[in-house]
Amino acid sequence: MNNFRLRLTPNDREIQLPFISTWDLNGVNEGIDEFQNEIAQKIINPIDDYEVTRFSHNSWSTGVTENLYTSVNYDFYFYNSVSDSSITATTNSNDWLLDYTANGLTTKEIYYYNNVFSKSYFKLDFYSNKISSSQQILLTIIIPTQQGKTMDATIGLNNVKIKIPSYELNYVGDKEGYYVYWLKDKQYLDVNTLYMTAKFYDASIGQFKRLMNVSQGNLLNKFNFPQQDNFYYTMELNYNNYTYEVFYEDNSGVRYRVGTSEQPIKWYEYVNP
């Protein structure tokens, strides 16, 4: 830094400084605008993209032919017993049936779509993780009983067809519950993996029945087991082509795809002790 010595006389009325004292204001206005925008963003809620789009089931093949299929397949099994307390250590998976009558409904109630049947439905809930104490529910899908495959039955002397809890959902036909409607942009919530649970709303009793991904008849300890292993399927979302796939993970940690005709997504009624 240079030193300057100023000498004043009694008649001096001004001081001349031997250096430039102009100010550089370039960029000041831009800085003010940026500061104003920052304050405005703090005061006014920012714009978030909540637009949703539909994810469809990713195509699959049977391994026998090269044909590709897009349907997603669900099978729901009910515990076939008069009393839930009858489950014992010898109970096996054969006690769970792919049949609404195993849940106490009659053939007439199913065929004529009585309220106890038509008002019942399957409820699929999707969570952020498998830990109940920290998970958040992200979306829900309803599958009505009016959809589904049929089987032969008899009412009096008449041969009829009644619904069974087995579904082949697709773009056409039975399509309610086929699409997953989720955020189109990951800017707001960056989620690729969802964890699916299932319940059955039984209109005959006005309560939900919880479902498992395995039959209790196949478990050594039928009531004491890790819930995160037996109550969830994993759904993976693909943002490149807006499709989804569902996976089952066995006790050894091996994961394989389900939802095809050869490997449906199977749910089994949970029998509460």
Q: Are 150 and 18 in contact (CB under 8 A)?
A: no
State residue 175's pLDDT score.
Answer: 95
Per-residue pLDDT of 218-253, as tens digits, reads 888 888 888 888 999 999 999 999 999 999 988 777
pTM: 0.81
Report residue 63's pLDDT band, with 50, 70 and 90 as the boundaries.
Answer: confident
Count of C-beta atoms within a 10 Å radius of residue 14: 4
CA 241, distance to chain mean position in Å, is 18
Contacts (Cβ under 8 Å, ≥6 apart) of 124: 140, 141, 142, 143, 177, 196, 197, 198
Q: Across residues 16-40, what is the average pLDDT?
A: 65
Angstrom distance (rounded) from CA 219 to CA 198: 19
Task: Report the relative pairing of strands 72-79 and 265-269 from DSSP bridges.
Answer: parallel
Residues 6+ apart with CB under 8 A from 86: none
User: Long-range pairs for 152-158 at CB < 8 Å and ≥24 separation?
Assistant: 153/107, 153/110, 153/111, 154/107, 155/107, 155/108, 155/111
Give the model confidence (pLDDT) of 167-214 as tens digits.
Answer: 999 999 999 999 999 999 888 888 999 999 999 999 999 999 999 999
Say how far apart CA 109 and CA 198 lie, in whole Å: 23
> What pLDDT, in 10s, does the model give residues 76-100?
999 987 655 567 777 888 889 999 9
